[in-house]
Amino acid sequence: MVKKTHKIKRTKFDGQLRFPIILRKEPEGGFTVLVPALPGCITFGRDIDEAQKMAKEAIELYLEDMIERGEPIPNESPTYTGEVTIDLPRKTASFTHA
């Protein structure tokens, strides 16, 4: 049986772009990583460090594919993340998970 391997052509990038990522902790462990500026660019890591490394690789591969297809590379994402604190009625607060 012959094992097939695929070589990934690495494109040299001259410059930097920032892409915000969303790390979602999974109940079974690890983190799913989403890149909102790049639809379908999703990866996974067992811990936060691995998830960030995997995100960088996934973004690089995504951009390489866009370049090969002649698509324009998106500019830095104007997306910012944060959090919002809301007040819950007392009866609702007892249903939340801390």
Give the model's pLDDT for residue 93: 56
Give the ranges where the chain is alpha helix by DSSP (H). 48-68, 90-93
Q: Give the pLDDT mean for 41-62.
A: 96
Q: How far is CA 69 from the centre of its chain?
A: 21
pLDDT higher than threshold 80 for residue 46:
yes
Domain 22-93 matching CATH 3.30.160.250: the answer reads yes
Q: What are the extents of the domains in the chain?
A: 22-93
Give the model's pLDDT for residue 15: 74
pLDDT higher than threshold 80 for residue 80:
no
Cβ contact 82:71 at 8 Å: no
Show the CA angle centred on residue 23, arms to residues 31 and 41, nearest 5°. 90
Give the model's pLDDT for residue 73: 87
Confidence tier at 8 by pLDDT (50, 70, 90): very low
